[in-house]
């Protein structure tokens, strides 16, 4: 069974409430119908109900809630809560009221106050448009200082990872993470491996060096990140710094990092910076024909996930299923 089918089955086992702020956008409406029909989540679309129905072009929206943030009974409560959260940063009551009329902020407040379990957006908004209010309002999980992202990868060559399934992080958020941030990314990736892929993480902290084979500040950063991550999660199977071949190929791992529990068997790859991570996942996706699901945000207190603006309705369905599984955790 493909990993996304396992995720959908998990989502169905404990149905969560997901809000789609881009409710007037056609792919979101198409996805909402598929999600309802597959029983993956309870859904709320945000937008003007007449515009949503117009976009639906006669499709049956029974069972899908539609809320207009500009005409919502909960808007005053959301505005008051947002003001309390942001007044120390200079936000006024008037600004808070204006913010929650925006579907993105309204959706974030739904998640913050428990009126929804998670949020998916990005078909017509940038990552920053979604991430900014999420970080301002929902913030990171206790003990995690860095919100990051991962991709859930499924490779047709089943010899790597766990039956071809791997986690790649961070591929979308942190451009030049320092050692502490990199350690937090590693712990987030390990949680994603357990929660989404259902695999016990074996985390490789990647570098162009293995166990001191090269000397450079970038190598030192990964070594320090490995030390911090091990202090934060001493029971986690994590090792570094490792070159990619040492992380994935058993023979090379035994040669370059003898005695390592991770080398040659890694299923969770932590890249040293965003350039390496973004290029790495796209290489595997395009050249190896892997399925790449993401970016999936990790380390945030309640699940909010981004979409590519080129996404299909099926991509939105998959992301909602992933978000629902995160909400179960």
More confident residue, 324 or 125: 324
Does the pLDDT at position 123 exceed 90? no
User: Looking at residues 228-244, what average pLDDT do you find?
Assistant: 95
What's the whole-model pTM score?
0.88
Cα-Cα-Cα-Cα dihedral sign, residues 109, 112, 117, 118: positive
Query: Could you give the 3-state DSSP secondary structure of residue 53?
Result: helix
**Digit-coded pLDDT (tens) for 245-279:** 999 999 999 999 999 999 999 999 999 999 999 99
d(CA 208, CA 231): 23
Checking if the pLDDT of 143 tops 90, the result is no
Strands (E), 138-286: 148-154, 165-169, 202-206, 237-242, 268-270
**Dihedral in degrees, nearest 10, Cα atoms 208, 214, 217, 223:** 70
Give the pLDDT confidence score for residue 241 in this predicted structure.
94
The answer to whether residue 103 scores a pLDDT higher than 90 is yes
Reply yes or no on whether the pLDDT at 102 is more than 90: yes
State whether residue 294 is helix, strand or coil.
strand
144 band by pLDDT with thresholds 50, 70 and 90: confident
Q: Which of 62, 65, 71, 55 is nearest to 20 (CA)?
A: 65
Measuring CA to CA, which residue among 154, 114, 111, 113 is closest to residue 20? 111
Whether the pLDDT of residue 140 is over 90: the answer is no
Please give the span between the terminal C-alpha atoms of the chain, in angstroms, as a whole number: 22
Q: In what order do the strands lie in the sheet with 118-121?
A: 65-67, 41-46, 16-20, 118-121, 304-306
pLDDT for 271-300, tens place per residue? Answer: 999 999 999 999 999 999 999 998 899 989
Asked if residue 19 has pLDDT above 90, the reply is yes
The burial of 163, by beta-carbon neighbours within 10 Å (0-12 exposed, 13-18 middle, 19 or more buried), is given as middle
């Amino acid at each position: 069974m493909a990993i996304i089918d396992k995720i959908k089955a998990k989502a169905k086992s404990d149905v969560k409430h997901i809000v789609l702020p881009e409710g007037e956008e056609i792919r979101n409406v198409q996805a909402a119908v598929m999600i309802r029909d597959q029983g993956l989540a309870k859904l709320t679309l945000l937008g003007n109900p007449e515009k949503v129905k117009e976009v639906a072009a006669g499709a049956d929206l029974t069972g899908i809630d539609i809320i207009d943030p500009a005409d919502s009974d909960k808007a005053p409560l959301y505005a008051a809560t947002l003001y309390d959260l942001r007044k120390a940063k200079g936000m006024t009551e008037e600004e808070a009221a204006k913010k929650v009329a925006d579907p993105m902020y309204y959706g974030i407040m739904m998640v913050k106050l428990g009126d929804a379990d998670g949020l998916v957006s990005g078909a017509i908004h940038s990552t920053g448009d979604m991430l900014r209010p999420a970080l301002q309002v929902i913030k990171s999980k206790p003990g995690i200082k860095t919100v990051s992202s991962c991709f859930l990868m499924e490779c047709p060559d089943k010899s790597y990872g766990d039956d071809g399934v791997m986690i790649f992080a961070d591929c979308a958020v942190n451009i030049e993470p320092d050692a502490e941030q990199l350690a937090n990314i590693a712990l987030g990736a390990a949680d994603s491996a357990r929660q989404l892929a259902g695999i016990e993480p074996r985390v490789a902290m990647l570098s162009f060096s293995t166990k001191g084979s090269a000397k450079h500040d970038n190598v030192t950063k990964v070594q320090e990140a490995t030390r911090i991550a091990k202090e934060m999660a001493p029971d986690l199977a994590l090792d570094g710094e490792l070159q990619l071949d040492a992380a994935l190929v058993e023979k090379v791992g035994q040669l370059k990092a003898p005695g390592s529990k991770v080398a040659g068997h890694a299923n969770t790859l932590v890249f040293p910076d965003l350039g390496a991570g973004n290029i790495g996942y796209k290489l595997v996706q395009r050249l190896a024909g892997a399925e790449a699901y993401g970016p999936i945000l990790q380390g945030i207190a309640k699940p909010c996930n981004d979409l590519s603006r080129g996404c299909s309705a099926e991509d939105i369905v998959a992301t909602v299923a992933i978000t629902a599984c995160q909400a179960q955790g």
